[in-house]
Amino acid sequence: MPQQRDFDVLIIGSGAAGLTLALHLGKRLRVCVIAKEEITEGATLYAQGGVSAVMDADDSVESHVEDTLRAGAGLCHRDVVESIVRHGREQITWLIGKGVPFTTVDTADGGQTVHLTREGGHSRRRVVHAADATGRAISTTLLDQVRAQGGITLFEHHIAIDLITTGKLGGTPDRCVGAYVLDKGAGQVLTLRAPWCVLATGGAGKVYLYTSNPDVATGDGIAMAWRAGCAVANMEFVQFHPTCLYHPQAKTFLLTEALRGEGGHLCLPSGERFMQRFDERLELAPRDIVARAIDYEMKRLGSDFVYLDISHRPADFIRSHFPTVHQKCLEYGIDITRQPIPVVPAAHYLCGGVVTDVAGRTSLPGLYAIGEVACTGLHGANRMASNSLLECLVTASAAAEAILAEQALVPALPVIPSWDESQVTDADEEVVVAHNWDELRRFMWDYVGIVRTTKRLERALRRVHLLRGEIGEFYANFRVTSDLIELRNLVQVAELIIRSAMKRKESRGLHYTLDYLERDDVNYARDTILRAGDFS
């Protein structure tokens, strides 16, 4: 393969956001989609719940907006929420047109309509789903459509190292013009030029020891955008999913919130329910409240887990509505039609990210960010269940319109030097990378997790500084590897999370600190923004 390739649009990431954008642009522009592993591997593939959208006559856009604002604890941008929620139905219609096999129910007139379930924070049933494997249905369908459409270049097993900007090349004005990308199979660094680069890299759950995220969720897009000079916002708001399967052999299996939406109870090892002590909405309270309640009870009892029990529902109902969960739990010897499921919270979703508008535009011309990597203002201090896939679809569609509208305004691409490896050697101690990776994830879990303190954050920051120095030296002296690239990005993202958490001296949404237990709307009813130059 040539070491330099040119495209119109370079999409880094292949989840719902990246593939949706590729489909919208692929017939008119030369599009390249990069995936770190197989094209479908990413958070979308493992999303069980669904897509929130106003589809029922008894529901309304206004109700969805208000539920989202309430969950976001005062930090959602109302105009963004209204814009994204308003486009929900059309995105579901688009997905159905592409062939996504959503679960349906019979209507009174003999027809069929999509089945709607309810999840935490929603006041109505408005979650469209494909049984309990919605993400897989969306991901595989969109990929089939991309391949059938043709004209879209797919690079699997490629990882972006850094964005290329005219500023880094010594030119002005600054603009993103491509990326250096490692072909993991060949060990070769490619130079991919494009007047538009789109980050669709997802979140950063792997910065924590326990996460529901797949291994690819290492914050690459956020770190690259930060190094390119973009601002980030609200990085302190990390959502911990309340219910991941607790089992020695279960690595990252999430138990969909729809289990609680369909009547699942959270119980102590004694069988006693406990959510009534924390919120009147019980198991359907927003995720931050449920996760903290579980964390509190685990610490109070010295237990490694609590239970999620849906066995009181009919067995046929459980098997038909939750076939994936049922089968996976059976593999671990748990029959959810008869037994409660041991569960523990785990890092799940990053509400912050690269600052963008609703169309994904960043502050750097030529660079867009869509999906979990971005902070549009939709989620505020806490994402409401199933709003994430909705955001992916709406912002990808809006980004496509914006890019097509900019075609006549794009300058010629500059000459970009090839990646220079003349001054580096092969790493002689890969164990350093493995050790640093493990250390980072452990202290982030211990010090920057569900419950925080100022002292814990200060400890975490000191350790991040030490790791950054070691990793920076390693990066400068040895050839890049996928593990080194990901670790470099995770350390950067960890620092952004810690510094953002230190700036917010209150408890709000997903940020809960024992030193400032109350919400402070006088001083902190605003986004936490970090910009280049705020710290070295």
Catalytic residue (choose from 287, 361, 441, 508): 287
**Strand 176-183, strand 306-309: pairing:** unpaired
- List, in sequence order, every residue forming a beta bridge with 233; answer none if it has no partner: 353, 529
How far apart (Å, rounded) are the C-alpha atoms in residues 420 and 378?
40
- List, in sequence order, every residue forming a beta bridge with 496; answer none if it has no partner: none
* Terminal Cα distance for the chain, rounded: 38
How far apart (Å, rounded) are the C-alpha atoms in residues 353 and 372?
7
Smallest CA-to-CA distance from 202 within 374, 346, 32 is with 374
Tell me if residue 499 is catalytic: no
Smallest CA-to-CA distance from 184 within 381, 479, 447, 524 is with 479
How far apart (Å, rounded) are the C-alpha atoms in residues 321 and 245?
18
How far apart (Å, rounded) are the C-alpha atoms in residues 452 and 449?
6
Q: What single string gives the DSSP state of each residue in 233-276?
A: E-TT-EEEEEEEE--TT-SS-B--THHHHTT-EEE-TTS-B-GG
Give the helix/strand (H/E) hosting 104: strand 104-106
**In Å, how far are 36, 74, 507 from 521, measured between CA atoms?**
41, 8, 10
**Strand 31-34, strand 9-12: pairing:** parallel
- Work out whether the CA dihedral 513, 515, 517, 520 comes out positive or negative: negative
How far apart (Å, rounded) are the C-alpha atoms in residues 284 and 262?
10
Both tokens of residue 499? 């510094």
Which residues have a catalytic role annotated? 287
